[in-house]
Amino acid sequence: MVRILVAGGAGFIGAALCEKLLRFGHTVLCVDSLQTGSAQTVARLRAFSGFSFIHQDIAQQLDAGQLGLVEEIYNLACPASPRQYQQDPVKTIETNVIGTRNLLELARLTGARFLQASTSEVYGSPKQKPQREDYWGNVNTTGPRACYDEGKRCAEALVQAYHTQHRAVSSL
């Protein structure tokens, strides 16, 4: 089976993904700062033999040697609740941008495939519903949600730039 790193794996969606991957027989390495993720969730996932946890902020440099072989990387790391991300908007941007870059660099160095989780928030307050993939959105770059919305938009641009510049990084 595949060895998969899930950044943000102690969060609501990340934990569900970790559990599903583990039930499929994959080995899962969860990297989470526990800023908004749950230590109780990590404890529950430890019941699976293929699960391991590293308590780390992805905005800090990742140690490829410590992580070992990683074949796929799923980035779900970032506070998603407005109350949570507005408490520390700078950290929210750093997690989205610097954290994504750190994970992309790990993917580039190891040849791992990469998946960036996004959000409809990248469209801001859309003037069309539903939004098509080629819709650019209607965003407020200075509003109270901008730290999350713009961080996610920048992360998406970074993923595309890595894919263009370093063909070794591929999105799933």
Residues forming the active site: 148
DSSP3 helix / strand / coil % (the chain, rounded to 5): 45, 15, 40
Q: Which residue has the tokens 């040849």?
A: 111
Burial class (CB in 10 A: 0-12, 13-18, 19+), 154: middle
What distance separates the 2 farthest-apart alpha carbons in the chain? 47
- Show the tokens assigned to 53: 């946890």
